[in-house]
Each structure stands twice: as structure tokens, then as C-alpha cells.
Structure 1
Amino acid sequence: MPSLCRDCFTQAEDHRRRCAACGSGRVASHPELFTLAIAHVDCDAFFASVEKRDRPELASRPVIVGGGQRGVVSAACYVARTRGVKSAMPMFKALKACPDAVVIKPDFTKYVAASRHVRALMEALTPLVQAMSIDEAVLDLSGTEALHGAPPAVALARFARRVEQEVGVTISVGLAPNRLLAKIAVERDKPRGLACIGAAEAAGLLAPEPVTILPGVGPAFAAKLAGMGFSTLGQLQSLEPREALRRFGEEGPLLVARARGEDSRPVRPERDTKSISAETTFDRDLSRPAEMEPILWRLCEKLARRLAEKGYAAGGVVLKLKTSRFALRTRHARLAGPSIVPETLYAAVLPLLAREADGTAFRLIGIGAQPLVEGKGADQGDLADPEAPRRAARWAAMEALRTRFGDGAVRAGRSLAGRREGY
């Protein structure tokens, strides 16, 4: 069975517990190790790893990256994870599970810089890099063996070392014949892992796994499947395509194929942006519109900037509210025309807030753009809204002043109230 030392990169044709050349125990072995070419790369506890990189004294301490007592966990290091802390966990629960954790507010400027460095190293391996989030991506290294003078597994092991040396964080790699299996593989060996799943073993390996191991199968869908007698992937694998279509509709055959480890999706360097939004958690529950409106305005400004940065405009807006009991409410409104101007976004979302502000206490508010449309034709105006170009010009002038003199150079009056409430 082929093997690879991930420390000195020595290759061997037989399975070994330790490297014969350097004695390292970090040896990867798999029958298809040197033929697999689709990789899922995931930075280990990324935000927390960046913070530990910059503060070495925290190396052995449990670190949580997130907001205040009312916020949620953005990331937790592996020390904190052993205590039961998980991403997206309410902060009060995280601190109850790990009271001695060091809590650090997110610094996205640092994280974006580190992410871009990792991305540059990925693109030195192959042009086929599809970013999945700030800390993970999928790569297709097919046909790169001549370029690197080594199989993809070896190139990835060298890449992992470069990331540690140059960026100061660790990564885990899943290697497989397709994207789905690579994603499942990377979860099997963290941190600093290199795990493989081959085509020949995929169906048998997945059969005993719960349906929730498939990306996109959340608790609600899993409960529905369980009610129909399907709790493991093996149970889904037994279905013929016609039966899968009858039971689950048009997506049924695809679901069964994924349960067998089949996935024909290519790696696309440019992933379509599906949504752009901005949200914040209040320092205390709010119920009065007058308290929430200034915060909502500032979120509209943030959303407008994000749309402009990505070259999109909003064809409609979505209001997101989370109650004190964590119940989620979303409300949608279409715009008369595509826009990237906060005034237009705010005017559309404000009536939605007025209807929901019925005395309920809310802990979170957010606004999103839906649908996203091409930004070039935004805010052109028409007979129904002739002022749109003027609003766009005012916003552009304000942004120009901020770029030159700083964010505090000019502000809309409605943004000045309620600045203590979580934003």
C-alpha cells in the first residue's frame, strides 16, 4: 500500500507506521494515495489559529473568537472544543462549558489577509481553486504531476508545510476522486490531517454513516428521512433511481447517488455569490422600533458597501429578526429597481420592521439582498422613482469623503442614535 511521510515527503510502496527516512509517525497510507486528485482544504480552527499565531502565550490555552455575552462563537481552538465549545454556540453556553477560555473579538482584517495568503499558495498548485468560505476551498490537481514533479498528495503535503511556515496556521486535507468524498474525507482527520477516500471503497465506507454526513442534509430533512425509514446512507444506497424519484421527487436520484459517494460537480474557480447580508446581535433585547431603526440604517450602509465591492445590486431586501427565544423571522420585499443605495434599501425594509415590531423582544437584526442582480444598471431611476440617481450621487459623494478623510468624516443623522445597542 503506497505511503507518504508528511514531514520529509518520502514516498514508499508499502504501508509503514513510521517513516524509514526521518522516523516521523505522520505517515499517510492508502491504495489510491498517488492517483487521487480532488482535494478539500480546510484551515484548522482558522480564526482561533490566527489569534494564537499572533499571541504565542495562548498556545496551550482554550481560545474562543466571538462577540460578547450576547453573541455567538465564531471559532474555537481545539483545546476549547475538547470542553464542548462549538462554532455558532451562544457565548453564554460556551463560557459555561469552558469558563477559563480566553475570549477574543473577531479581527476580520487579519483573517482576510491570512486567507488571501493561503489562497495564493493554493493557486501556485493549480488554477482550479474554488473557495468555499474564508477558510476552506476545493482544488482539482488533475494533470499537475509534471508541473510539481510529484503526485498531488505530495504537492499537497508540501503545500501544508508552506502554509504553516508562511502563514502560521495549520490545515487539513481530504483527498478523493470527487468533491463530495473530499469534503467527507477532510472531516475524518483533523487537525493537520491528510485523509483519503477512494472510489472503490466509497459506498462501503459510507453505508453505516448517518444521513447527516451529507452536506445539505440538516436536522429537519434528516428527521423527514428517518420518518420514512432512512437513517443511514446504506439504506438510501439500496434504492433504485425510479424508487428514489417516487419517494423524494426530482432530487431523489441525486440524493441516492450522493449516498453512494458519487458526485460529478466540477471544481469551478469562480463560485457564484448566492447572498450578501449584514447583521448584528444587540447587547440587550430590543423591542421598540425607535431603538432598532438606527441600527438597521447602519446595517443598510454596510450592505450597500458589500454589494458595491462585489459588483452586485439588490433586487429586493430581506429583513432578519431573531427573538429572545431564538425564533427566527424573515420578511421579504421587492425593490422597484436594482439598488446599492442605503436610502433605498432602508426605505424598503423599514415597513417590514414596523410590522414585526409588535412588542416582541429581539436579540438580533439583519438585512440581506435577495435576489442579487448585476450592479451595472442599479439606481438608474424611472417615472416611478425619478430621485434614484440623486440618491446614488449623494451616497457616492459621502463614500468619496469617507475614503479620503475616514469613516467619521460624514454620517447620516439617522445613524447617530442608538450606537450603544450592539453595533
Structure 2
Amino acid sequence: MHVDMDAFFASIEQRDNPEYRNKPIIVGGQARGVVSTCSYEARRFGVRSAMPIFEAKRKCPQGIFISQRGRVYREVSKQIHEILQSYSPLVEMASVDEAYLDITGLYNLFGPPVEIAQKIQKEIHVKTNGLTCSIGIAPIKFLAKIASDENKPNGIFIITNETMPGFLSELSISKIPGVGKKFLEELKKLGIKKCADVLQLDKIFLEKKFGKAGIMLFERASGIDTREVEPYTVKKSESAETTLSENVYDKKILKKWLLIHAERIGTRLRKDNLKGRTITVKVKFADFKQITRQLTLEKRTNATDTIFENACILLDELPLAKAVRLIGIGVSCFGDDKENKQLSLLTFADKQEEQRENLEIRRNHLDATLDTLRERYGKSAVMRGKLFTKTE
């Protein structure tokens, strides 16, 4: 089963603000950036997720543009997760607004699949004060996801073992997860539009031409998806980025945003008890061209200042021949640093190593204090001086 919340962010905004109901709500910012999600009223004007805000304004000038309230959305997502877990022990949150459930063997507890879906829809609607979801049910994972999109909003769609071959035969390859724009263009050159067309080709031919993507395509078209519902997925990275209100050349301004992002990322990593070794900086220019640069540390970290310091090193290495419209940081390569701590004891005689160790310890103590204060008194209770303007 795939449960997909309907226009999640926009629906929460309409729920919490009665004056927004039945109006075109677009979540993603006032001026720049991209649309995170939008209400169904806005979709009638052609507005879609990931669309640039300026294009959304052109298509829907009467739209109400709202900035995200991430904390609220995460709280509602957690509430939905708890509801789903009361039906199945195997729940995989694919994102903040969608989840997979393994409903094998639940017939005696909750009835047949349709009844389970109806009960879930009703409980989510009641406990979240009016939010709706669409549910897809199928024998395999990727088809369950596709099915949840068939009867939106607030719909249920079921693909059984008996109906799966017919459904697959007419399924457009553009709906298969993993088939992006470039891949789709190459497939269309071969005359491939539906899954039935894929099966006219040899699997070996697809593998030679497209590699692993070709194998994946052939398997999906054949109704093969061996992935199981994974209740817990190890986080692979943590990131934050911002589309700036206006294009920027000044690295001082960009570094201020790097510090804001490092603060966000560091807080999340410490909360999840994670440390990363790879720091990545992402820059998108005014012409929408994007570049990333990364470096790998000797030891993993979740210290805000260490993340910020290394992000600045990467930014300083970038020639800014064009103005920047988006700046972001990512931290990845998580793991346990016990082996590194043991190694540092063996090399502690080295003065520079000792200084680095002591600096990281001081930074960890500072971060722990800031985290405690913010947890108790709110995020704005204490701020780093570098984030203030001269007038402030």
C-alpha cells in the first residue's frame, strides 16, 4: 500500500487558515525559488511542484504565495506515521508526505485491502482535522505508488495480480519512477512509449544501451520489483539550501547564508546523533546553471563551526563570474568515529592534532549549550553574532 497525502503543505495551510480555503495556495516563497506544493485550486491554472515561482506567478497571478512552515509539516507527518503504524508494523516513510505499508496478513485484523484503505483515510481525516490522502494498493512497490496517483484527491485504486498484466501493458513509461527526462527522450527515439513496447526489446539490448537503468526498465515493465517495505532507512545525508531574494555576487553575504545552513544542519545531525565526513557546497547561478564542490574531512563532525568553516573553504575556491541565486550545504558520509578517536590517541603528541581535537571539543560544548537553550526557549533565543547586521 502507498499512502500519499493530497497537496500536503497547501492542505495544512488551508486547514490552519480558513481564509485560504477554496483558494489557489502556492507554498514555496513570495518571489523566488520553486513551488514546494500547491492546492488543487492552483493546479487548475497549470501550477505544479518544482515549477519556478516566477512561472507560477505568471500562470496564476491571483495565487496566494506562502513560505514553508517546516516544523508544522514535520509534526503532522509524525502524526500520520503513528496512525499508519497502528495498522502495520512495516511502515516506510518515503518522504514527509508519503509512506509504504506492507499489509500482508492483515485481513483478519482489519478486513480486505479496500476496507483497510478506507479506515486509514477516515482516521487520518479525523485525527488531522480534515487532511485527505490517496491510497494505491498493488502486489509490488512501484505499482502501489503509481496507483496512489490514479484517483487523486482522496481516492483509492487497486491493482491485483489478475489486473496487473493489463495495467502494465498500457502504462506509459513516463510514469515509472526512475525514468527521467533524458532517459525518456532516448526511449522515445526507439519508439518506446508504453511498457508493452519495452517487452518487445531484448533485455540484453537494453542493458548494453542503458546499463542498470535498462535492466530496471525491463523488470518494471515485466512486473518485477523485489524491493520490500523497509521500516527504517538509514539517513545518507543532511542538507539545507536557500534561493536568495535577489542575485548575489558578494561572498560575505553568501557566507552568512552558509552559516545559517551550517546551523540548521548541525542541529539536525546532533539531534539524530550523526556525524559526517563529506562537506558539499551547492551553488546555482542567475542563469540556472548549477555546480557543486565537496571535500572530505579526516574525522567526522556535526559541529556547526566546523561545517561552516569547510563550506567557506569550498566557496572561496569558486570563481564567481556570475551572480548567485541559490546557495546550499550538504553533509554526508555518516558513521561511527570511535576508530578515529583511538587513532588520535596514538598521535596525540602531534601539537596540531591536539589543537584540532581541543577546538572540536570546545565547538561541541558550545553547540550542546546552544541546542539546550533553543530547545527550552525557542530557536530565536540565542543567535551567533555573525548573523546580525550592523543595525541589529
TM-score (norm 1): 0.84
2:127 is the counterpart of 1:162: no
Counterpart selection for 1:395 from 349, 364, 367: 367
User: Do 1:304 and 1:342's aligned partners in 2 also have CA atoms closer than 8 Å?
Assistant: yes
> Residue deviations 1:396-422, cap 9 Å, x none?
2333343345444443332224999xx
> Residue deviations 1:66-91, cap 9 Å, x none?
21211321111111101111112121
2:163 is the counterpart of 1:201: yes
- 1:254 to partner: Cα distance: 3.0
* Partner secondary structure for residue 293 of structure 2: strand
Counterpart selection for 1:350 from 301, 312, 327: 312
User: Do 1:128 and 1:139's aligned partners in 2 also have CA atoms closer than 8 Å?
Assistant: yes
Counterpart selection for 2:154 from 173, 184, 192: 192
Matches of 2:309 and 2:72, distance apart in 1? 34
1:36 alignment partner in structure 2: none
2:244 is the counterpart of 1:272: no
- 1:59 to partner: Cα distance: 2.4
1:340 alignment partner in structure 2: 302
2:272 is the counterpart of 1:300: no
User: Do 1:295 and 1:418's aligned partners in 2 also have CA atoms closer than 8 Å?
Assistant: no
- 1:45 to partner: Cα distance: 0.3
* Amino acid in structure 2 at the alignment position of 1:160: Q
Moved more, 55-64 or 357-366: 55-64
* Amino acid in structure 2 at the alignment position of 1:135: D
* Amino acid in structure 1 at the alignment position of 2:118: A
Evaluate the alpha carbon distance shift between residue 280 and residue 114 of structure 1 in structure 2; reply closer, same or farther with a 3 A threshold. same
Moved more, 43-52 or 307-316: 307-316
Matches of 1:266 and 1:323, distance apart in 2? 40
* Partner secondary structure for residue 275 of structure 2: strand
2:81 is the counterpart of 1:109: no
* Partner secondary structure for residue 60 of structure 1: coil
Matches of 1:307 and 1:377, distance apart in 2? 20
Matches of 1:109 and 1:418, distance apart in 2? 29
* Amino acid in structure 2 at the alignment position of 1:389: I
> Residue deviations 1:180-227, cap 9 Å, x none?
110111111100111112233334323343322111111122223334
Give the alignment of 1:132-281 within 5 angstroms: 132-148=94-110, 150-167=111-128, 168-281=130-243
Matches of 1:176 and 1:115, distance apart in 2? 23
Evaluate the alpha carbon distance shift between residue 126 and residue 405 of structure 1 in structure 2; reply closer, same or farther with a 3 A threshold. closer
Matches of 2:252 and 2:87, distance apart in 1? 53
User: Do 1:40 and 1:174's aligned partners in 2 also have CA atoms closer than 8 Å?
Assistant: yes
> Residue deviations 1:315-353, cap 9 Å, x none?
111101111111111111111210001121122111211
* Amino acid in structure 1 at the alignment position of 2:112: P
Matches of 1:357 and 1:380, distance apart in 2? 39
- 1:125 to partner: Cα distance: 0.9
> Residue deviations 1:263-294, cap 9 Å, x none?
11111111232321011111111111112111
Counterpart selection for 2:384 from 389, 412, 420: 412
Matches of 1:144 and 1:320, distance apart in 2? 45
Matches of 2:308 and 2:267, distance apart in 1? 14
2:263 is the counterpart of 1:291: no
1:71 alignment partner in structure 2: 33
> Residue deviations 1:93-117, cap 9 Å, x none?
1121111112222222322222222
* Amino acid in structure 2 at the alignment position of 1:157: Q
What percent identity do the matched residue pairs reach? 34
| Equivalences, count | 381
> Residue deviations 1:15-72, cap 9 Å, x none?
xxxxxxxxxxxxxxxxxxxxxxxx1000100111111112234322111122121132
Q: Which runs of 4+ in 1 moved over 6 A?
A: 375-381
User: Do 1:381 and 1:389's aligned partners in 2 also have CA atoms closer than 8 Å?
Assistant: no
2:291 is the counterpart of 1:319: no
- 1:300 to partner: Cα distance: 0.7
> Residue deviations 1:230-284, cap 9 Å, x none?
3432222223433333333345333201122221111111123232101111111
Matches of 1:169 and 1:217, distance apart in 2? 30
Moved more, 110-119 or 183-192: 110-119
User: Do 2:299 and 2:337's aligned partners in 1 also have CA atoms closer than 8 Å?
Assistant: no
2:347 alignment partner in structure 1: none
Matches of 2:391 and 2:93, distance apart in 1? 35
- 1:380 to partner: Cα distance: 8.6
Q: Which has the higher helix share?
A: 2
* Amino acid in structure 2 at the alignment position of 1:345: I
User: Do 1:289 and 1:357's aligned partners in 2 also have CA atoms closer than 8 Å?
Assistant: no
User: Do 2:125 and 2:131's aligned partners in 1 also have CA atoms closer than 8 Å?
Assistant: yes
User: Do 2:267 and 2:371's aligned partners in 1 also have CA atoms closer than 8 Å?
Assistant: no
Matches of 2:126 and 2:338, distance apart in 1? 42
Evaluate the alpha carbon distance shift between residue 342 and residue 62 of structure 1 in structure 2; reply closer, same or farther with a 3 A threshold. same
* Partner secondary structure for residue 132 of structure 1: strand
* Amino acid in structure 2 at the alignment position of 1:411: M
Evaluate the alpha carbon distance shift between residue 380 and residue 230 of structure 1 in structure 2; reply closer, same or farther with a 3 A threshold. farther
* Partner secondary structure for residue 403 of structure 1: helix
Evaluate the alpha carbon distance shift between residue 275 and residue 68 of structure 1 in structure 2; reply closer, same or farther with a 3 A threshold. same
* Amino acid in structure 1 at the alignment position of 2:388: L
Evaluate the alpha carbon distance shift between residue 209 and residue 110 of structure 1 in structure 2; reply closer, same or farther with a 3 A threshold. same
Matches of 1:343 and 1:236, distance apart in 2? 51
Matches of 1:377 and 1:403, distance apart in 2? 31
